[in-house]
Structure 1
Amino acid sequence: MNTPLDWAGFGAVTPLALAVLCVAAFVAGAVDAIVGGGGLVQLPAMLLFSPGGAAVHSLATNKVASVFGTASAAVGYARRVRIDWAHALPMALIALCGALGGARLAAALPSKILTIVVLVALIAVGLYIWRRPELGVVHAPRFARHHQLLAMCAGGLLIGFWDGLAGPGTGSFLVFWLVAVVGFGFLDASATSKIVNTATNFGALLFFVPAGVVLVGLGVVMALCNVAGSLIGARLAIRKGTGFVRTVFLVVVCALILSLVWKIVRAG
């Protein structure tokens, strides 16, 4: 279980690491389908094992898994939620550009800095979610149509850049921006965030794929697990409610925070 695999495109992960990463991708898909923030589970798990050696390989491969999960969730939402495409698509395009810029910066940062960035994001978003159990109960946009589009595009640019740079919490940040700033209801914000998040993941890949840092084999396997988790997560939300998923999410986040702290301390 500790012997590195010699499969092409897997970054010399061990069978144990591959199993853990598949579970993380599955859980990430389930979490993302409900509240966003699946990257808080998936990316830190990849950074713990560092497939390919450098953190940029984890960032890039994480995008392969995530883009399929967010796209499948976006399709699911589009079938049952009325989406304002006139605003969602421009926001997605701006976010894609931001993600491309963030990905360029991520490739130039040392692995340790990226690990610390992810740790800070984990703590910040975990605390935010813990202190705000209910968001967007009522859909009540705060701006006129033109100003609403500007607010959505501003959030798309900032959060898209963050997604390209590191990624964890992007889905949650998008939902929170749409709810807290724009005034969307939670369901409408979740639906729109999946469209934008799909664009940011794709935007980052526009840089990572030509750069040759994507571990294709590992990314495809994790993508399948992510999509499966997304489908099952949606069913869990309907049957058990978001409170159950939120509790599991916070437990996993706490565990990953401790794991990353230990990794940083051990690395000196």
Structure 2
Amino acid sequence: MVFEVATHLALLLILAAFLAGFVDSIAGGGGLISVPALLLAGASPIEALATNKLQGTFGAATATATYARAGHVRLRDQVGMAVISAIGGAAGALVAHLMPVGFLRIVMPVILVAVALFFAFKPGLSDDDRVERIRPGIFAVTAVPLIAAYDGFFGPGTGSFFMLAFVMLAGFGVLKATAHTKLLNFASNIGSLAVFIPSGAMWWAVGLAMAAAQVAGASLGARLAMRVGARLIKPLLVVTSTGMAGRLLWQVLA
């Protein structure tokens, strides 16, 4: 296979994709690893975003299938929500050029730190379900398309936001929220990918090699999350949310 970059860079990107898949399958934030790696390898911003969506879709699909096989998410019951997420992701990608990205880069670190603090200090967060604050139908047409659209036009923190919404609004336990987050993240990736593919910006050889590594990392991460549950997911979510906030702040201030 002929890569778009030198072989040693391709191998480093494959390693980055494995780590991204592992982290993303548990707590989200895999893009914090894979996107900077692609940029450092010489990809333009649009090439990095497009290629990241390609490889990330495989990782999200693997994590979703792993959680579904273990019974943590029933795919048939979530088809409607997944379709809404896919449409939201595509819409977000289409209007990306209209959004004030500079403003988002300032606001997002603050929100991500708030997410990290919530999961770090909120008492009683466990794998047990809790009180549902809004009905599933309302959740599907409000929180889902908003977060999915954000994923389409910006991206960092999408998994954390889905997690927070499922825990706070839908009343899910941490492990169940993680499983459903991966399904909706996969759907929003598919929607975004449908917009990025015609752009011609995709690094196909590198992206598919990274996708294979994503599959391995996501499978390992999902299995570990199911074994350990909230005891692993909560601290990793705090670390990834804080890391994403730091990365975004560095980009703003650099």
Fold agreement, TM-score > 0.5: yes
**Equivalent residue for 2:8?**
15
1:208 aligns to 2:196 (yes or no): yes
- Structure 2 gaps, min length 5: none
Q: Distance in 2 between matches of 1:137 and 1:235?
A: 15
1:225 aligns to 2:213 (yes or no): yes
**Equivalent residue for 2:43?**
52
Q: How many residue pairs were aligned?
A: 253
CA-CA distance at 1:173 after TM superposition: 1.6
Q: Which amino acid aligns with 2:64?
A: A
**Equivalent residue for 1:79?**
69
- Structure 1 gaps, min length 5: 1-6
**Contact between 2:126 and 2:230, CA under 8 Å: does it hold in 1?**
no
Q: Distance in 2 between matches of 1:143 and 1:254?
A: 27
**Equivalent residue for 1:3?**
none
Q: Which amino acid aligns with 1:28?
A: A
**Contact between 1:121 and 1:169, CA under 8 Å: does it hold in 2?**
no
**Percent of aligned pairs with the same amino acid:** 36
Higher normalized contact order (CA 8 Å, seq sep 6+, divided by chain length): 2
**Contact between 1:99 and 1:204, CA under 8 Å: does it hold in 2?**
yes
1:41 aligns to 2:33 (yes or no): yes
CA-CA distance at 1:155 after TM superposition: 1.5
1:138 aligns to 2:104 (yes or no): no
Q: Distance in 1 between matches of 2:41 and 2:103?
A: 14
**Equivalent residue for 1:62?**
52
Q: Secondary structure at the match of 2:29?
A: coil
Q: Secondary structure at the match of 1:167?
A: coil
Q: Deviation digits for residues 116-143 of structure 1, max 9, x if unmatched?
A: 6775665454444444486354224526
Q: Secondary structure at the match of 2:87?
A: helix
Q: Distance in 1 between matches of 2:242 and 2:230?
A: 18
- From 81, 88, 92, the equivalent of 1:98 is 88
**Contact between 1:70 and 1:195, CA under 8 Å: does it hold in 2?**
yes
CA-CA distance at 1:92 after TM superposition: 0.8
TM-score (norm 1): 0.77
Q: 1:52 to 1:81 in 2, by over 3 A?
A: same
Q: Deviation digits for residues 133-170 of structure 1, max 9, x if unmatched?
A: 863542245268xx322213321101110111122222
**Contact between 1:136 and 1:183, CA under 8 Å: does it hold in 2?**
no
